[in-house]
A and B are shown apart, each in its own frame.
Chain A
Amino acid sequence: MPTPSIEVDRLTKRYGGRPVVQDLSFTVNAGEVYALVGPNGAGKTTVIRLVAGLAFPTEGTVRMLGVNPHGDPGVRRKLGAVVEAPAAFYPYLTGRGNLRLHGRLAGGVADQRIQEVLDMMELGNAAERRVGVYSLGMRQRLGVAAAMLTRPEVLILDEPASGMDPLSLHLVHAVLREAASTGTAVLLSTHHLDEVVAYCTRVAILEEGRLIDEVNLLDRRERYRVTVDEPHRARALLDTQPWIRHAAVRGQDVVFIPVEQGAVGRVTGLLAENELSVLELTRDIFDLRGYYRERIASDRPTHSGVRPPDVGDRA
């Protein structure tokens, strides 16, 4: 089994005796996009800083590409990270100047690569402007550009979508998806739950520094729902097909996971051949926001009037 790109084991961080992160364990593999979600104060940023090597664990270990990031700063050659929102740059330097400086600190990056990441984040026209006059969203995009500068094997981003307009948000998501598809492990914290569902592989729900749930979104995203007149017969039929991994009845519907996406098209034909009426076939979109609210609410002590957090409403 390959070594995970990020390995967090029983991580605990206390400030002045107060635990901010408690006994947290998770891994992020190459090609995965792993999201940390949770209400404000849940410990997401602290986890990001611990993993990036900016803060020291009180207990437990963090390993990045198999090594301790504190013990071996050289591993940061393979890291791209933004841990500030908005991303921090020298305001008196231009966008390009800041990226050049990042390149020098990283051991040297060609001017051509700097231009590539500027173009990738649609900052080519603003490259010669001082960062001090950049908008919040432009700074965030420059932050992602800086993180991508060295074609990192590990990307760590704290609230990358903060302050971004929808188009910029879409751009950042596309860049992260592309990075993951080329084998980069991405760890991010976010409040944008809808986007998490769209492109993250797994999501960890944090509450008061603890991991209260980890959801594999890859499985959830590949689910489909077919509405039929006889759901139990349809389920039995689908369950016997080698190209269906799993099928279950949910009310009037049958929810199924195909072995591969091409198998979805064969479902209507199969059901029709067996004289079952298909009323609707659609992707079964996972309601992470609802799930998240339920999980947080069930984790908190019951108090009358206490409302689950509205983290997802910000998205």
Chain B
Amino acid sequence: MKSLLSMEFGKVLRLGSVRFSLVLLVLFPVLWAYAPGIYKVYDFYLVSAFQVPALSLLSSMQFLLPLLVAISAAELLGVEIANGTLQTVLLRPVSRSQWLLSKLLVVTVYPFAILAVFLVVSLLAGAPYGYGSFVGGTGLGQAGLLGQGTMGAGQAFVEVLRAYLVAGYSLVPVALLSMLLTVVFMNAAGGALATLSVLIFMQLLVVFPSLTPYLLTTQLNAYAKPVSNLGWVAALIAVYAAAFAAASVVLFERKDF
């Protein structure tokens, strides 16, 4: 398993979609930090580097980040199917579930990894606004971007870090859903597009208010929720993640290659 895991982690940076995601995730915060129209559109001036991560996350969590995560997760398996290396590996004394589990573990870590990059780049992009105390909020706490008086740098950093960790956690089921649908369709494009379709479909289900709290897409906003409300959300995300991972393994075990 250790050997499989190191193999799978080694493959991630070779994926085209991961490289493309990294380019976008580096460009995106820079654009936000220097966008001339922020005040005009949002009636707001950036006053601290700790506010750039909020803008990056708020503007990408509903569509861009789930899409990038879904594409990379699908490609991690899809490229093996397309190249025929899937069969090559399965002809070795490796159990199917072990091999897929190593991939599932990689795609579970992946959202945290790209969000770490996103956070670092966002903070660096905000350098001209300074890293000291400021009047306002990070945009990721209860007081929004306007805040409630002066905010210390340490407090701001913890708030941003917490939000990014929760955002990473809420993206894990998206990655696992993408892996499941790639197992179903046996190609990367099919898996990624089907994931996107499922997410769009779920977003449309907000017209059923009783369903809304349980939808995966609703949990994508968990990073903005107060810590006291996160227990239920964390459990629900874990259920989604476990269900998608288990279904992937069961289906993969029974597939003909």
Q: Which residue of B is nearest A75, CB measured? A: B93
A84–B80 Cα distance when bound, in Å, is 13
Query: Do the beta carbons of B91 and A54 come within 8 Å of each other?
Result: yes
Stretch in contact with the other chain, from A26-34, A102-110, A189-197, A276-284:
A102-110
Residues from chain B with Cβ under 8 Å of A146 in the complex: 88
- Contact flags (1/0) for B14-45 with A, using CB distance below 8 Å? 10000000000000000000000000000000
Q: Which residue of B is nearest A79, CB measured? A: B91
Instruction: Bin chain B's interface residue count.
Output: 20 to 34
Query: Do the beta carbons of B88 and A54 come within 8 Å of each other?
Result: no
Query: Do the beta carbons of A84 and B256 come within 8 Å of each other?
Result: no
Q: B257: CB under 8 A from chain A?
A: yes
Query: Do the beta carbons of B88 and A84 come within 8 Å of each other?
Result: yes
Q: A101: CB under 8 A from chain B?
A: yes
Neighbour of A73 across the interface among B3, B14, B87, B95, CB < 8 A: B95
Residues from chain B with Cβ under 8 Å of A84 in the complex: 84, 87-88
Q: Which residue of B is nearest A83, CB measured? A: B87
Query: Do the beta carbons of B93 and A83 come within 8 Å of each other?
Result: no
Query: Do the beta carbons of B14 and A101 come within 8 Å of each other?
Result: no
Q: A77: CB under 8 A from chain B?
A: yes
- Contact flags (1/0) for B222-237 with A, using CB distance below 8 Å? 0000000000000000
A107–B93 Cα distance when bound, in Å, is 8
A56–B251 Cα distance when bound, in Å, is 13
Interface residues of B in 43-102 (CB under 8 A from A): 83-85, 87-96
Residues from chain A with Cβ under 8 Å of B96 in the complex: 73
Query: Do the beta carbons of A81 and B91 come within 8 Å of each other?
Result: yes
Query: Do the beta carbons of A55 and B257 come within 8 Å of each other?
Result: yes
Q: A291: CB under 8 A from chain B?
A: no
A55–B86 Cα distance when bound, in Å, is 13
Residue from the set A76, A79, A101, A105 with the largest chain B CB neighbour count within 10 Å: A105
A33–B93 Cα distance when bound, in Å, is 23
Query: Do the beta carbons of B93 and A56 come within 8 Å of each other?
Result: no
**Contacts A73-B94, A74-B93, A88-B87; A49 near B3 (Cβ below 8 A):** no
Neighbour of A105 across the interface among B83, B87, B94, B256, CB < 8 A: B94
Residues from chain B with Cβ under 8 Å of A76 in the complex: 91-94
Residues from chain A with Cβ under 8 Å of B91 in the complex: 52-54, 76, 79, 81, 83
User: A156 to chain B: closest CB distance in Å?
Assistant: 8
Q: A91: CB under 8 A from chain B?
A: yes
Interface residues of B in 197-243 (CB under 8 A from A): none
Q: B113: CB under 8 A from chain A?
A: no
Query: Do the beta carbons of B83 and A90 come within 8 Å of each other?
Result: yes
A105–B3 Cα distance when bound, in Å, is 8
Q: A89: CB under 8 A from chain B?
A: yes
A110–B114 Cα distance when bound, in Å, is 37
User: B257 to chain A: closest CB distance in Å?
Assistant: 4
User: A53 to chain B: closest CB distance in Å?
Assistant: 8
A76–B83 Cα distance when bound, in Å, is 21
Q: Which residue of A is nearest B91, CB measured? A: A81
User: B27 to chain A: closest CB distance in Å?
Assistant: 25
A55–B83 Cα distance when bound, in Å, is 18
A91–B91 Cα distance when bound, in Å, is 18
Using a CB–CB distance below 8 Å, which chain B residues touch chain A?
Answer: 3-4, 7, 14, 83-85, 87-96, 254, 256-257
29 A-B pairs within 8 Å (CB atoms) are namely A49-B256, A54-B87, A54-B90, A54-B256, A55-B256, A56-B254, A73-B93, A73-B95, A73-B96, A74-B93, A75-B93, A76-B91, A76-B92, A76-B93, A79-B91, A81-B91, A83-B91, A84-B87, A87-B88, A88-B84, A88-B85, A89-B85, A90-B83, A90-B85, A92-B14, A101-B7, A102-B92, A104-B7, A105-B4
Q: A89-B85, A105-B4 are in contact. List 19 more A-B contacts (CB 8 A).
A: A53-B90, A54-B87, A55-B256, A73-B96, A74-B93, A76-B93, A79-B91, A83-B87, A84-B84, A88-B83, A89-B88, A90-B83, A90-B85, A91-B83, A104-B3, A105-B89, A105-B92, A105-B93, A105-B94
